Amino acid sequence: MEEKILDMLEELCGDSIVREDTDINLLEEDLIDSLDYTELLVSIEEEFGIVMSPSEFTRDQMDTPAKIIAQVKARMN
């Protein structure tokens, strides 16, 4: 699952750094914007069947690859 999310992020951000540094701040580094975030939520829904709502999390709960993985994991259990 982690691998799949990292794949999604790498494609969205167009940068393999998300794989190397999973604590990188995607917002501050300008790697992800509102539109990418929306696409990420759709990909998560289609891949894992988990509906995540755009207003569910504040941006600082979803601003690094590690946090995103943790939130998806929390929802899968």
Q: Are 62 and 75 in contact (CB under 8 A)?
A: no
Segment 1-60, which members bind other proteins (CB under 8 A)?
33-35, 37-39, 41-42, 45-46, 51, 53-56, 58
Could you say whether residue 61 binds other proteins (CB under 8 A)? no
Separation CA 62–CA 41 (nearest Å): 11
Could you say whether residue 76 binds other proteins (CB under 8 A)? no
Binding-site ranges for other proteins (CB under 8 A): 33-35, 37-39, 41-42, 45-46, 51, 53-56, 58
